[in-house]
A = this chain, B = another copy of it.
Amino acid sequence: MPYPEGHKLKVRKHIITSAAKAFRTHGVRNISLPYIMKGAGLTHGGFYSHFENKDQLVIEACHFAISDTIELLKKVADKHEDQPKIQSVIEFYLSSVHRDQTEIGCILPALSGEISQLSEEIRNAYTREFKRFLEFITDMAKVDASTGYALVSSMVGTVALARAVSDPKLSDDLLLAGKTQAKLIIASSKG
């Protein structure tokens, strides 16, 4: 067989990486397959020898993006040993760095509004990935499920809004208030 062992798998991975990056920054519907393929160093024609259709790619990209974010947050948590891990994670998630670096940021705020309008398959995938993220945060914060829901909703909503508004001061203030709030949520659940 031509092409080295695992070549196609590697290319497939490149496409997923390019897609995840694009989706995180521009959403799903505004990103074209030609654009994604170009980001992977390819032309658009070969796409369908790798994926059944665009939906399938969205599903895989969501999975990759959440795995990527969870890994990143784990690293962030391990970096600061002087405070509880969840503290570091929240401070990063609600930082201006995370708000601004959408390309490598959490995909949940980026797609939260759009998902409800996409195919059932994509919604199911998003739900699966959301649950994964939810579990990660809930475990790390050592809180009950309900508190975990509130915490993640608040985090996702804050980042989405902080990214949306064009007033830099307001955006910063949203992040700050979100951080204060998140700490309060955790503290009050332990009281």
Which chain A residues have a beta carbon within 8 Å of chain B's beta carbons? 25-27, 29-30, 102, 108-117, 120, 123-124, 126-127, 130-131, 145-147, 149-150, 152-158, 160-161, 163-167, 170, 173-174, 176-178, 180-181, 184-185, 188
What is the CA–CA distance of A27 and B145 in the complex, to the nearest angstrom?
30
Copies of this chain, complex-wide, total 2
Q: Are A174 and B153 in contact (CB under 8 A)?
A: yes
Q: Are A158 and B161 in contact (CB under 8 A)?
A: no
Q: Are B164 and A153 in contact (CB under 8 A)?
A: no
Q: Are B165 and A178 in contact (CB under 8 A)?
A: no
Residue of B nearest to A125 (CB): B166
| 8 Å CB contact of A146 from B117, B120, B131, B173 | B173
What is the CA–CA distance of A176 and B150 in the complex, to the nearest angstrom?
9
Q: Are A149 and B177 in contact (CB under 8 A)?
A: yes
Given contacts A27-B113, A30-B29, A112-B112, contact A153 B127 (CB under 8 A): no
What is the CA–CA distance of A174 and B120 in the complex, to the nearest angstrom?
20
Q: Are B158 and A174 in contact (CB under 8 A)?
A: no
Q: Are A149 and B178 in contact (CB under 8 A)?
A: yes
**Mind listing 5 A-B residue pairs with CB under 8 Å?**
A27-B114, A109-B112, A109-B113, A124-B166, A126-B164
What is the CA–CA distance of A127 and B120 in the complex, to the nearest angstrom?
31
A-B pairs with lowest CB-CB distance, top 6: A157-B157, A149-B177, A150-B181, A113-B113, A123-B166, A112-B160
